[in-house]
Structure 1
Amino acid sequence: MDDHGRVRIAAGRGAVALLVSGLQGTRKAGMGLVGAALIAGAAQAQTYRFDTFEVQGNTRIDTASVLSTLGVTPGQPVSAGALNDGFQRLQASGLFQNVEIVPQGGKLLIVVDEYPTVNRISIEGNQRLKDEVLLSVVGSQVRRVYDPVQAERDAAAITDAYRQAGRISATVQPKIIRRDDNRVDLVFEIAEGRVSEVERLSFVGNRAFSDRRLRRVLETKQAGLFRVLVGSDTFVSERVALDRQLLQDFYLSRGYADMQVLSAVPELSPERDAYFLTFRIQEGQQFRYGRVGATSALPEIDTSLYQAEVQVQPGDIFTPQSIERTVQRLELLATRQGLTFVRATPQITRNPASQTVDVNFVIEKGERLFVERIDIEGNATTLDRVIRREFNTVEGDPYNPREIRAAAERIRALGYFSQAEVTAREGTTPETVIVDVDVEEQPTGSLGFGLNYAVESGVGVSLNFAETNFLGRGQVLNVGVNTASERSSASLTFIEPYFLNRDLALSFSTSYSENSDDVFTFDTRSVGFRTGLEFPVGEFSRLGVFYGISKDKLEARDDTELSPILLEDVGDEITSYVGYAWSYSTIGRGLDPTRGVRLRFGQQFAGVGGDEEFVKTTFLAAAQRTVRNEEITLNATFEGGLLNMLGDENSRQPNRFVNSSSIIRGFESGGIGPRDLNFDDASLGGNYFVAARFEAQFELGFIPEEYGIAGATFLDMGSVWGLDDTDATGPIPVDDDFYLNSAVGVGFLWDTAIGPLRFNFTTPVRKRDFDREQNFDLTIQTRF
């Protein structure tokens, strides 16, 4: 209260002072809560009446808005407490730095000091993170009122962005530069600091698997010599939680049912530029299946049929994946038999002494629930139907929680979303369930420009555009152009994975290629089109049918004399064909992550129009497994092909099999196979080929695993042989007999941030005098 007994309410930066006449002397040293309460009570009791109002200091906020926020009505009595409430509303509006309310008899004076408006927002001192990245986390906006509290929040968000990038020592200071017309420039001054890398990754408590093997499981990597090229060695606290889960999944999938990650402790170095991350784990015992069976008390269940669907055998490694897949098979069988609400419940009995687990799958009636509806949120680009088709359940179907979980996994596996959560809640009735799908989209397209290199084709340039969720429809579009000094190609592929709303992939592709390198004694040009349908025929197998047409041109070079066999092939030929391809693979998908097989068989029938008539058959069988606690990966591949001409025509070179590094290594493209001995031409190709490849891949003990360099040893054997009637062109000395070539070698595999590199050093073991060796092969593909 001033000297005239008037109440004054003032505040600065949120502090409020309320003084009432006659009470100044009561607030003495040592006055506690009681004295404060007496003052507040007296203030609440005093009332005022104002007939006029005056607002000073407002330039941007109009007077009516100020009075409306104050909430005082002219001519109506108002208490000091109500004035204080109005003052608090003005202060909390975020529009004013200071507010002062001064009663002057029948007049109320309101003095305000407005916050300035933001003229410009800028980032200074940043080099590692771009302006657009940092501005995306800033909440302050240009042409809006400057809020110092929001500016502090923005500084914290920018600091967190740097922390996510591994720079925990980064500091951000918000500052303002005052301009005219009550405007300010908001500047965030950044000191980035150094990246905090993971200097060492270590484990405590692991006996079955070495530190080297477990480091390969983690998303986080140790910093090494090439730390500039590796982003995964940066310490990110959120990544540690993912690493814990990856470790847990790794052990569970290998039968360690009791494995626990007891702790994951990051220790910061004294220099605050590196972390030492230690995982403390408890492995427990590895369990295998003991007795496995299926039982049921339901009269409509034929137990023998369900027992036949249990594919795990005693002695197999006990894993959650094998339990889940067995449950899915049993419940699917019940659905096919027309039974609803049937559940397969695994009853598990541990035998610690023998380290086995007995499992009995009990077929029983489950809870009677129906799916009321499926709600999808968060998909701004992806169409609802793209997500819905991953559900085998629709509205009105019986609710199966395992099927809902499987659908959630399929949605995550699409790669369209950074997060995908599928939950169930009670519906509008006790018998119904609503399934909620909440997704967060992520970029699904890529544009790549790169360099590639191969010994045979030299240095080349590649341009590629790929989109796996084209127009939000889940379609795949891929366009690629590759050029090298003597080879070039272009292709376009489009895939509709759910044609007619079924698990039926429809594809179209076109391609163009030219080849004029020194490996061949002629030039080739090819243009083609192909379309096909592919669909599943089993849990791990698919079948595709296709039609294609191509135009192949073989052209002699002016300075090169061709073999008479190749002279017959010079010119244009059109090949029109239909065919099918069956594939089966459990590598990386089967119940046992340590082993798997891959099978492929296909045939191509030419003669549906065009100039060629033949049947071309190819097959492949491959197996993979890991040994020595998964330190070594063994691969064995057997492959072959047959080209059978129909009618009296001889096969042409573009349709014959020609050796490449994908058949056997250690020899040039076309370096083995039939040969016109007069011309020593290595590019004839053959009607038949077989190959066997054996390889062991392993970590190099003398090179830290964080460098991503692995070693390999291999043995390749194979042959390309067989031509049609060569007498038609006159007597030609031709060696087209079967001959088993072989080669051994070592390789170095380097998985770098700029692309995969492989170096092969090879020595032929068995060869003919005219076979052409290739002792070194390097393949590089770099993308920017």
Structure 2
Amino acid sequence: MGRTKGRAGGIGLRPAVFSVVLGLSAMPAIAQNFNFSNVVVEGNTQVDDPTILSFAGISRGQSLSGGELNDAYQRIMDSGLFQSVEMTPQGNTLRITVEEFPIVNTIAFEGNSIIGDERLATLVKSQTRRVFSPTQAEADAAAITLAYSQSGRTAATVEPQIIRRSANSVDLVFTITEGRVAEIERIAFAGNRTYSDRRLRQVLETRQAGILRRLIRADTFIPERTQVDRQMLRDFYLSRGFADVQIGQPSAELTRDRGSYFLTFNIQEGQRYRFGNVSVVSEVPGIDLSDFQDQLWIKRGSYYSPSSVDNVTTRMENVGVQQGLNFIRVEPRVTRNVQNGTLDVQFALVRGPRIFVERIDIEGNTTTQDRVIRRQFRTVEGDPFNPREIRQAAERIRALGFFSDAQVESQQGSSPDQVVVNVDVEEQPTGSLSFGVAYGAVSGVGFNIGFSESNFLGRGQSLGVNIGTGSDSVSSTISFSEPAFLGRDLKFGLSANYTTTDSENSDYDTKSIGISPSLTFPVGDYSRLELRYNISEADISDVEDDSSEILQREEDLGDQITSSVGYSFSYDTRTNGINPLGGVLLRFGQDFAGLGGDVDYVKTSMTAVAERRVWNEDLTLRAVFEGGALTMLNDDVSTVPNRYFGNSIRGFDPNGIGPRDLTAENEDALGGNYFAVARLESEFPLGLPAEYGITGGLFMDAGSVWGLDDNVGTDGVEVDDSMNLRSSVGFSVFWSTPIGPLRLNFTKALKKEDYDEERNFDLTINTRF
């Protein structure tokens, strides 16, 4: 650190020079005591004499030994205000000569471009107009170096230097050599027998450097991130039955050019276990176990998963609360059967300590209101303390997405039977402004602009505005939701939309405007029920003269107002279910129109999705079924804005299938009152490095759109609105690019009608910036 660098006149930091000079003539023996009637301080311009004497702790007439004189010297040095101190006894006079540290005039940064001056200034503790401290400057340099390391530049160096100025002041300059980003050249695994390196790399946040290394920042080597990766690997194995898995400290080796790393994770998988006997017992007399046994959802023979055990434990403790059994705890007791590879789990009901929640303290939330955080707790002040509930509340707080960090800890309260729960959060931005572009080979380019705020005014409410344009449509939507309506687990939503279309394969336009309030609430662990009302106005216009007379009659109806109530029930285990290899989504809904307005109908929709990963999770299989039925009442006739058009069947253009009036010149798509489509999909690796984000897929679609209330077309000829099956097969390429997910579909229609409009290739990409 002692060389000049950076600026003319700059000097490196040097150690402080200090000494205690004990004159031999004045001190014949080191054990001699001193008694000074006078103390003289020299060399000080910024720190006054009394302050220095107070540091020394010496008073006139005080008898001092040589050791006490040394201690006085050390106390002055420890003040951090002086570069050097000399204490010289001269008879009855003690002369203290000091050399003060200079005052920091300015603080500057040189050589930095990746991290700006404003960010760096927040990292240093040295301050202008304060005494310069070499120790603090070195600590500041270390903090800056750490910031570069966390951004992947582990080779960065920071050198603090001072430039002498007049009036005993200096400029403090941090000279920075940022260095290159330390990339991960290769991620390898040792000891993995069950899962391939490719599959395990998908678990990690860290990625190997690939052809897009200039854009993908996840390939940088950040030591802190590898610890997160290590935990993610452990959770991955535990959730799949490897109860004894051990993930060693990852080893990082520099390549020869010292510009990248080889990262290796050492894994000891251990034995894989399945669930054996699962039972519940009570060590508390008088408890009826029947309700608790109903919560044993674990299937014997399935692979062991800690999350499954935790889910059952939580449900049992909730049953205990519902029955008023305070201080009842559920202890999962696991017994290994190594020979047959099973784990027996016994859920024991035990009586926990009588501890109550004294209060919940919340800190760090400058924008978010306390009640938004507090409602994540199922516990309030005065309730029995349940450690599991507190941990789950912490997870719910983190899941809000409002905070970059959230720590929830408990400590003893005012008495041994009281607990104080401390919540410390660090807020992060929750609003976003997004711009999007989408491209379809036939539909062309579309643009989108949106604003969203997930913590509106700190109330935990969400607000969104979206405007989108395409080659054949313009749509705008505004939505608002309150997740804790009336202080309960009840979501209130309100949305409004306005849409106009000029369809690609239809010579007519549509327009619709509507508003819909809704209420959504849970009815089970994985299920929710939505109740809604909708009022809208829609019409069909600009029907060409050569279009079907069916469309012309619908245009004559003019604007039609629809007033409806409806519900949707959904059951979804794909993300938080008990099976980490897959899950299902079931959704069923109906809307009943006729509460005023111009139309009466019942509209029913259904969706079923099943997803599972097989072949050591390298292959994802997915089956999807969608269907809908529009049943008009009171002799009403369906119109284009309410009918289905089968746009979810790949291999065909939008509005490319369904009933058509073949006697009309333009053979416009008419849509249908019914639709059904089944899709089978797979996604698998193509043998390319996983960090490229390119995978392939095969799919097969089969379905149809059919049924019209008015099927009498041009010149009185009936339109064929029967259920004519369409099917297609295809191959997909998925590419997770830095600017958004890209998908290419190559499709071949297997079964179609002569008048259907095919689409053999489609490319879509969406991005946010």
TM more than 0.5: yes
- For residues 50 and 588 of structure 1, what CA distance do their matches in structure 2 show? 80
Among 656, 662, 665, the residue aligned to 1:671: 656
Q: Which residue of 1 aligns with 2:378?
A: 392
Q: Which residue of 2 aligns with 1:581?
A: 568
Q: Which residue of 2 aligns with 1:16?
A: 19
**Structure 1 pair 108–283 and aligned structure 2 pair: CA distance change class (3 A):** closer
- For residues 484 and 680 of structure 1, what CA distance do their matches in structure 2 show? 23
Q: Aligned runs of 1:477-492 on 2, under 5 Å?
A: 477-492=463-478
- More deviation in 328-337 or 253-262? 328-337
**Structure 1 pair 105–560 and aligned structure 2 pair: CA distance change class (3 A):** farther
Q: Aligned to 1:695, what secondary structure does the other structure show?
A: strand
Q: Which residue of 1 aligns with 2:451?
A: 465
Question: Does the CA contact (< 8 Å) of 1:457 and 1:485 recur in 2?
Answer: yes
Among 737, 749, 753, the residue aligned to 1:764: 749
Q: Does 1:724 align with 2:709?
A: yes
Q: Which amino acid aligns with 1:762?
A: T
| CA displacement at 1:69 relative to structure 2 | 5.1
Among 373, 388, 398, the residue aligned to 2:359: 373
Q: Does 1:562 align with 2:547?
A: yes
Question: Does the CA contact (< 8 Å) of 2:450 and 2:464 recur in 1?
Answer: yes
Question: Does the CA contact (< 8 Å) of 1:263 and 1:281 recur in 2?
Answer: no
CA-to-aligned-CA distance 1:179-210 (integer Å, 9 cap, x gap): 44444333222222111111111111111111
Q: Which residue of 2 aligns with 1:270?
A: 256
Q: Which amino acid aligns with 1:634?
A: L
Q: Does 1:539 align with 2:562?
A: no
Q: Which amino acid aligns with 1:188?
A: F
Among 325, 346, 357, the residue aligned to 2:311: 325
- For residues 569 and 63 of structure 1, what CA distance do their matches in structure 2 show? 99
Q: Aligned runs of 1:639-678 on 2, under 5 Å?
A: 639-660=626-647, 663-677=648-662, 678=664
Question: Does the CA contact (< 8 Å) of 2:358 and 2:418 recur in 1?
Answer: yes
Question: Does the CA contact (< 8 Å) of 2:453 and 2:464 recur in 1?
Answer: yes
- For residues 764 and 494 of structure 1, what CA distance do their matches in structure 2 show? 41
The unaligned stretches of length 5 or more in structure 2 are 1-13
Among 676, 679, 692, the residue aligned to 1:707: 692
- For residues 720 and 15 of structure 2, what CA distance do their matches in structure 1 show? 100
Q: Which residue of 1 aligns with 2:682?
A: 696
**Structure 1 pair 513–725 and aligned structure 2 pair: CA distance change class (3 A):** closer
Q: Which amino acid aligns with 2:671?
A: G
Question: Does the CA contact (< 8 Å) of 1:12 and 1:98 recur in 2?
Answer: no
- For residues 107 and 479 of structure 1, what CA distance do their matches in structure 2 show? 81
**Structure 1 pair 84–511 and aligned structure 2 pair: CA distance change class (3 A):** farther
Q: Which residue of 1 aligns with 2:137?
A: 151
- More deviation in 296-305 or 650-659? 296-305
- More deviation in 211-220 or 466-475? 466-475
Provide the alpha-carbon RMSD of the alignment: 2.7
Q: Does 1:439 align with 2:442?
A: no
Among 606, 611, 622, the residue aligned to 1:624: 611
Q: Which residue of 2 aligns with 1:33?
A: none
Question: Does the CA contact (< 8 Å) of 2:23 and 2:88 recur in 1?
Answer: no
Q: Aligned runs of 1:302-341 on 2, under 5 Å?
A: 302-341=288-327
Question: Does the CA contact (< 8 Å) of 2:36 and 2:93 recur in 1?
Answer: no
Question: Does the CA contact (< 8 Å) of 1:521 and 1:681 recur in 2?
Answer: no
Q: Which residue of 1 aligns with 2:408?
A: 422
**Structure 1 pair 310–54 and aligned structure 2 pair: CA distance change class (3 A):** closer
| CA displacement at 1:113 relative to structure 2 | 4.3
Q: Which residue of 2 aligns with 1:32?
A: none
Q: Which residue of 2 aligns with 1:48?
A: 36
Q: Which amino acid aligns with 1:622?
A: V
- For residues 55 and 539 of structure 1, what CA distance do their matches in structure 2 show? 78
Q: Does 1:526 align with 2:512?
A: yes
Q: Aligned to 1:150, what secondary structure does the other structure show?
A: helix
- For residues 683 and 727 of structure 1, what CA distance do their matches in structure 2 show? 14
Question: Does the CA contact (< 8 Å) of 1:671 and 1:682 recur in 2?
Answer: no
**Structure 1 pair 296–112 and aligned structure 2 pair: CA distance change class (3 A):** closer
Among 171, 181, 196, the residue aligned to 2:157: 171
Q: Does 1:783 align with 2:768?
A: yes
- More deviation in 189-198 or 337-346? 337-346
Question: Does the CA contact (< 8 Å) of 2:36 and 2:94 recur in 1?
Answer: no
Q: Aligned runs of 1:291-302 on 2, under 5 Å?
A: 291-296=277-282, 298-302=284-288
Q: Aligned to 2:218, what secondary structure does the other structure show?
A: coil
| CA displacement at 1:240 relative to structure 2 | 1.2
- For residues 94 and 23 of structure 2, what CA distance do their matches in structure 1 show? 16
- More deviation in 107-116 or 403-412? 107-116
**Structure 1 pair 113–588 and aligned structure 2 pair: CA distance change class (3 A):** same
- For residues 17 and 433 of structure 2, what CA distance do their matches in structure 1 show? 52
- For residues 283 and 36 of structure 2, what CA distance do their matches in structure 1 show? 84
Question: Does the CA contact (< 8 Å) of 2:21 and 2:89 recur in 1?
Answer: no
Q: Aligned to 1:566, what secondary structure does the other structure show?
A: helix
Q: Aligned to 1:569, what secondary structure does the other structure show?
A: helix
- For residues 775 and 54 of structure 1, what CA distance do their matches in structure 2 show? 93
CA-to-aligned-CA distance 1:439-495 (integer Å, 9 cap, x gap): 333333323234332334422333222222223322222222333444333322222
**Structure 1 pair 18–111 and aligned structure 2 pair: CA distance change class (3 A):** closer
| CA displacement at 1:104 relative to structure 2 | 7.7
Q: Aligned pairs, how many?
A: 752
Q: Which amino acid aligns with 2:146?
A: D
Q: Aligned to 1:373, what secondary structure does the other structure show?
A: strand
Question: Does the CA contact (< 8 Å) of 2:18 and 2:85 recur in 1?
Answer: no
CA-to-aligned-CA distance 1:572-606 (integer Å, 9 cap, x gap): 33323221111110012111111211000111122
Q: Does 1:261 align with 2:264?
A: no
Q: Which amino acid aligns with 2:640?
A: Q
Q: Which residue of 2 aligns with 1:30?
A: none
Q: Which residue of 2 aligns with 1:516?
A: 502
Question: Does the CA contact (< 8 Å) of 1:229 and 1:753 recur in 2?
Answer: yes
Q: Which amino acid aligns with 1:747?
A: S
Q: Which residue of 1 aligns with 2:594?
A: 607
**Structure 1 pair 727–770 and aligned structure 2 pair: CA distance change class (3 A):** closer
- For residues 601 and 221 of structure 2, what CA distance do their matches in structure 1 show? 59
- For residues 405 and 734 of structure 2, what CA distance do their matches in structure 1 show? 32
CA-to-aligned-CA distance 1:152-172 (integer Å, 9 cap, x gap): 222211111111122111111
**Structure 1 pair 152–689 and aligned structure 2 pair: CA distance change class (3 A):** same
Question: Does the CA contact (< 8 Å) of 1:72 and 1:78 recur in 2?
Answer: no
Question: Does the CA contact (< 8 Å) of 1:56 and 1:109 recur in 2?
Answer: no
Question: Does the CA contact (< 8 Å) of 2:728 and 2:748 recur in 1?
Answer: yes
Q: Which residue of 2 aligns with 1:34?
A: none
**Structure 1 pair 95–347 and aligned structure 2 pair: CA distance change class (3 A):** closer
- For residues 483 and 61 of structure 1, what CA distance do their matches in structure 2 show? 70
The unaligned stretches of length 5 or more in structure 1 are 1-10, 27-37
- For residues 282 and 692 of structure 2, what CA distance do their matches in structure 1 show? 54
Q: Aligned to 2:174, what secondary structure does the other structure show?
A: strand
- More deviation in 685-694 or 168-177? 168-177
| CA displacement at 1:84 relative to structure 2 | 5.9
| CA displacement at 1:111 relative to structure 2 | 5.5
- For residues 519 and 198 of structure 1, what CA distance do their matches in structure 2 show? 50
- For residues 685 and 339 of structure 2, what CA distance do their matches in structure 1 show? 35
Normalised by the length of structure 1, the TM-score is 0.90
- For residues 83 and 298 of structure 1, what CA distance do their matches in structure 2 show? 71
Q: Which amino acid aligns with 1:285?
A: Q
Q: Which amino acid aligns with 1:46?
A: F
Question: Does the CA contact (< 8 Å) of 2:20 and 2:85 recur in 1?
Answer: no
| CA displacement at 1:568 relative to structure 2 | 3.0
Q: Which residue of 1 aligns with 2:103?
A: 117
| CA displacement at 1:546 relative to structure 2 | 1.4
**Structure 1 pair 50–286 and aligned structure 2 pair: CA distance change class (3 A):** same
Question: Does the CA contact (< 8 Å) of 1:686 and 1:723 recur in 2?
Answer: yes
Among 497, 503, 506, the residue aligned to 2:489: 503
